[in-house]
Amino acid sequence: MTKTGFFWDEQCFWHGGGNYAGMLPVGGLVQPMASGGLPESPESKRRLMNLMDVTGLARDLDLCHAPAAPTDDLLRVHPASYLDTFKSTSDAGGGELGRRTPFGPGGYEMAAQSAGLSIAALGSVLNGTHTNAYALSRPPGHHCLPDYPNGFCLFANLALAIQSARAKKLTERVVVLDWDVHHGNGTEAIFYDDPDVLTISMHQDRNYPMDTGDFADRGTGKGAGFNLNIPLPPGTGHVGYLATMERIVLPQIRAFNPDVIVIACGYDAAAIDPLGRMLATAETFQIMTRQVKTLAADICNSRLMMAHEGGYSEVYVPFCGHHVLAEMSGSKITAPDPFGDVFPLRQPAAAFDRFLEGWIGEMADAL
């Protein structure tokens, strides 16, 4: 059994969102940018692969391809009406069906390929091919509702992977931990009444979407108590993220006792990101990975799967991802953080840490 599978496809790098300047469509007083396009570009993901090639980490992973998600699997989450509208719009040259989800020709096929990577990665962990696996899925998926895409997400990649695995009787109980800087509203909505999927989202409070992600939203019906939102204040930083993991996230996962742990792995909580303000570092992501990997070894036979979500710094995302994948695989190959001397100096002061301790403690005590 190969330890870590890395699932990717060149087609996922070809997805494009049209003529944008950051989050704004070009036109009127909004000028084109030299870098062009939406923050959700292929470059941060492609540069992660470039970095792994240069350091040699790629040779310590099992690099895998996978087929696009078939219609039968897509229908496990998305209604046929949505698939038909998406496909016809894609075939007609592209457009936008939701909020902040523009796509060009072939957008449907690229999104299906992205979902297929997540489906294959989770399947490979559950069938014993890999101990753990990482899907370099693009476009991302955690904001996508069954019939309404938003936040760059066109298909609900992780939800599709989970429902595909459940249909094949590969798993019954799943934890989804989302550490993207934005609330995982799509994943939450899909499993909100499901007691066999514990969804946990730790995110910057009221970043995106601004009307979801409250701590009080705990699920409904049989799923009551099986959704957990952990909104954190801007500037939470390295210490705050690790404290949140130790005091809230890890105990909740252990108590749920899942068959597998699935992570929506966004890097936009990093210290430099155009869409987040959280001050996490590459070491933060590495240690969180170590924490979850250690827990998975203890409670679910090491079964751990991650899917790439957000993260928009072309400079820093590759180092964050490299730290995570080295930790997942146990590789000794490193890519030293070029900001390793700077970002620790920008972390919150002790007074803010004391404030944050109360913030985290209040949520922990309420569970």
CATH of the domain at 229: 3.40.800.20
Q: Is 171 left (phi over 0), alpha (psi -120 to 50) or beta?
A: beta
CA distance 250 to 288: 10
Q: Which of 130, 142, 143, 308 is catalytic?
A: 143
Tell me which residue of 173, 176, 181 sits closest to 40, measured CA to CA: 181
* Both tokens assigned to 290: 């170590």
Q: Are 170 and 42 in contact (CB under 8 A)?
A: no
Tell me which residue of 199, 123, 118 sits closest to 165, measured CA to CA: 123
Q: What is the pLDDT along the chain (367 residues), one digit of tens a residue?
A: 579 999 999 999 999 887 888 888 888 898 987 766 889 999 999 999 999 999 999 999 999 999 999 999 999 999 999 999 999 999 999 999 998 899 999 999 999 999 999 999 999 999 999 999 999 999 999 999 999 999 999 999 999 999 999 999 999 999 999 999 999 999 999 999 999 999 999 999 999 999 999 999 999 999 999 999 999 999 999 999 999 999 999 999 999 999 999 999 999 999 999 999 999 999 999 999 999 999 999 999 999 999 999 999 999 999 999 999 999 999 999 999 999 999 999 999 999 999 999 999 999 999 9
| Count of domains observed in the chain | 1
Show Cβ contacts of residue 2 under 8 Å, excluding neighbours closer than 6 positions: 62, 129, 130, 131
123-128: long-range pairs with CB below 8 Å, 24+: 123/161, 123/164, 123/165, 123/168, 123/170, 124/5, 124/7, 124/64, 125/5, 125/260, 125/303, 125/304, 125/305, 126/165, 126/170, 126/171, 126/259, 126/260, 126/303, 127/170, 128/1
Task: Tell me the pTM.
Answer: 0.97
Q: Name the residue range of residue 343's domain.
A: 2-366
At residue 17, the 3 state secondary structure works out as coil
CA distance 242 to 327: 16
The conformation of residue 206, written as its DSSP 8-state character, comes to T
**Helix residue ranges, H only, the chain:** 43-55, 71-74, 80-91, 107-126, 157-167, 185-190, 237-244, 250-256, 282-299, 317-329, 350-366
For residue 6, give the amino acid letter.
F
* Both tokens assigned to 328: 């997942």
Q: Is 143 a catalytic residue?
A: yes
